[in-house]
Amino acid sequence: MNETIVDIQNLRFKYMSSKELVLKGIDLQVKRGEFIGIIGPSGAGKTTLVSCIKGLIPHTINGKIGGKIDVFNMDMKKHSPDQIAEKVGMVMQDPEGQIIGLTVQEDLAFGPENFQWPVEKILDIIPENLKRVRLDGLAETETYSLSGGQKQRLSIAGALMTEPELLILDEPTSELDPIGREEVFATIKRLKEEKDITVIVVEQTVEELIGICDRIVVMKGGLILADDHPKNIFKNKDIFWGENRGEVPIPQTVQLSYMLSDGGYIRDEQISPYEQEISQTIQMLVQGRCYT
């Protein structure tokens, strides 16, 4: 996990239709094997940032870009998305916009076929990737008949077909119902546990990120406000509480921690996103053994 595969320094970007910068000097490094969650309010620049990493900006989406953005030692201001397509997979918010094939198998074969992979190799890895996203046995199923959660998991499987070293998921559960969200996050967790892959997830469901991310990056107004382990990131109340309350959804455990901290019942360093830790803290409070 020592090799840096994404190196961003002072990244700035402005859309052609925008008067102001959307990214205002982003510094971010991602090491191989890391699992990064990106959170922040609407308009923070999250999708713009991952679009730069994928190379969609500035090659597909026009605008003015500055700073350094190297992905696998390639300057993404000069290299098109096609040049890193096999190394970087991306799953967008709307699965309908990513599904091309009439059947599950046809859809999964589309990417590797474009890279002229041997048919035998494609057919060999389709069952493997269907199993990875819990769609076993659905290769011949027509894609229109899948549920929303199944379609998004199919999109993830499609992104995995070219065996990328980096997988980007941009709010993959925003269009899904609770069951669909649960299915997709279960798939993401399995990826972390079973596959040696680097993952960047843009997501609003912060509770789900806590248990799987190595780091959480908080963005607002085109800037990175914080970048730390989930255990530590919420200890900075100024980012999530006070005048910023409600801008970034936070876990109920953190909300409870903040209220206890505001009341003087616990120290800020006792703030925790983990249910077990905050439960223990409350038990200590009840027993009179906690800071007051």
pLDDT tens-place string over residues 172-215 = 888 788 888 888 888 888 888 877 789 999 998 888 899 889 99
Q: In Å, what is the CA distance from 41 to each residue of 45, 51, 206?
A: 9, 17, 12
Query: How would residue 115 be classed by pLDDT, with cut points 50, 70 and 90?
Result: confident
Between strands 35-39 and 198-202, the pairing is parallel
Residue 290 has pLDDT above 60, yes or no: no
Between 138 and 176, residue with greater pLDDT = 138
8 A C-beta contact, residue 143 and residue 103:
yes
Query: pTM of this prediction?
Result: 0.90
Q: What is the DSSP string of 179-242?
A: HHHHHHHHHHHHHHHHS--EEEEE-S-HHHHHTT-SEEEEEETTEEEEEE-HHHHTT-HHHHSG
Residue 69 has pLDDT above 70, yes or no: yes
Q: Tell me the domains of the chain and their CATH numbers.
A: 1-84+214-240 (3.40.50.300), 87-203 (3.40.50.300), 251-286 (no CATH)
State the Cα–Cα distance between residues 92 and 11, nearest whole angstrom. 22
- Helices (H) then strands (E): counts for the chain: 11, 10
The reported pLDDT for the residue numbered 292 is 47
Sign for the CA dihedral angle at 273, 274, 276, 281 comes to negative
Residue 235 has pLDDT above 50, yes or no: yes
What is the chain's mean pLDDT, rounded?
A: 90
8 A C-beta contact, residue 109 and residue 166:
no
Residue 91 has pLDDT above 70, yes or no: yes
8 A C-beta contact, residue 12 and residue 58:
no
Residue 176 CA, distance from chain mean position: 16
Q: In Å, what is the CA distance from 171 to each residue of 71, 112, 142, 249?
A: 21, 24, 25, 14
The reported pLDDT for the residue numbered 82 is 86
Between strands 35-39 and 23-31, the pairing is unpaired
pLDDT > 90 fraction of the chain, expressed in percent and rounded: 56
HSE-CB at 17 with a 13 A cutoff on CA atoms is 1
Query: How would residue 4 be classed by pLDDT, with cut points 50, 70 and 90?
Result: very high
